[in-house]
Amino acid sequence: MENKIKTVVVTGPTATGKTSLGVKLARAYRGEVISVDSRQVFRGMDIGTGKDLSDFGAGENSVPYHLMDIVDPNDDYNLLTFCEDASRALVDISQRNSLPVMVGGTAMYLNAILNGYTLPGGPPDLKMRDELRSKPVAEVAALLKQQYPEAYETIKDKGNMNRLMRAFEKVGNQDKIADPISSKIDPLVLGVFYHRKDVHRRIEMRLDQRIEEGMVDEVQGLYDSGVSWERLDYFGLEYRYVAKYLKGEMSLKAMRDELLIKIRQFAKRQDIWFRKMEREGLNIHWIEKGDFEKAKVLVDSFLAGEKLAEPEIRIKDVYYGKKSS
């Protein structure tokens, strides 16, 4: 472990305050934040992705951040690119004797950081994707079924254009192995823990706050600037359902209520992912309500090279009855 870069990773379900805790730790230890979020890389997507840029401060007390606001919404950005960008940021931060603090909850990105990543089929073929996007989804699905029936059968959601395009890219290509971030870091993984009913409550409060702060106007502005409805759908829940409202497919109340259900379901899927990671041997130090002082005790011991106690909470052992699920 001598040559590895000590790195703090802050993760957890959506709406639990990961950014707040990560920024506080970065500020306390002269660190810099690397975002581990598949959507925060895009410019102009602030409210819907929860960038919480005000947490980073301004002036001399500001905390530097990386991998946010680095590409335009119509540009492609993928997991392989993230691995390369995050690896460069990690080395850059460590060479300046600062502490890398990776913050986010995108499961694939987090897995790439902690376990390495292999991208079957090589990087995205942008020219081919442009050609396929010009066709209806049903036509692309039929084309894949005709040319590569085995690949077609592996796709569960055959109406998902992104999955269809990726299937075309995988066929006949060699594996592309990203520069493994996992081989460069010695991580301390901290998780922000709330009981599920509290996560559900926080999700509702945050959703209503985002709507009040102008999330609808943000999505309208993206569309007016040339981001298509199809592209907004690709960006996931908040952008998909606000777009449905803007297109007149549902009322504001129906949009809000349906989006609330979907975000809660997403949080449950994140919970399943974290349980899987624990079962596979990863120690996640879950900190109730993201308590900064408790997190700081762990970081102090970690940076001092001391052996850490076993996590007090393991969510793989936390079960919820039907009433709280």
- 315: domain CATH number is 3.40.50.300
- Residue 63 belongs to some domain of the structure: yes
Residue 227 resides in a domain: no
Q: How far apart are CA 179 and CA 91, in angstroms?
A: 12
User: Both 62 and 197 in a single domain?
Assistant: yes
Q: How far is CA 65 from the centre of its chain?
A: 15
Same domain for 290 and 167, yes or no, is no
Looking at the structure, do residues 159 and 35 belong to the same domain, yes or no? no
238 lies in some domain? no
What's the pLDDT score for residue 121?
56
pLDDT in tens, 121-144: 555 677 778 888 888 989 889 888
Q: Does any domain span residue 231?
A: no
- Residue 28 sits in the same domain as residue 159: no
The SS3 call for residue 111 is helix
pLDDT, residue 178, reads 53
Residues 133, 66 within the same domain: no
Q: Say yes or no: 57 and 131 in one domain.
A: no
> Total domain count for the chain?
2
Domain housing 169: 126-176
3-state secondary structure 9-53: EEECCCCCCHHHHHHHHHHHCCEEEEECCCCCCECCCCCCCCCCH
For residue 161, give Cα distances in angstroms to 121, 235, 242, 244. 17, 13, 20, 18
* Per-residue pLDDT tens over the stretch 17-76: 999 999 999 999 999 999 999 999 999 999 999 999 999 998 888 999 999 999 999 998
Does residue 15 share a domain with residue 74?
Answer: yes
Shared domain for 45 and 190, answered yes or no, is yes
Residue 234 lies in a domain: no
Mean pLDDT of 80-85: 90
C-alpha distances in Å from residue 113, one per residue of 109, 211, 238, 322: 6, 32, 26, 34
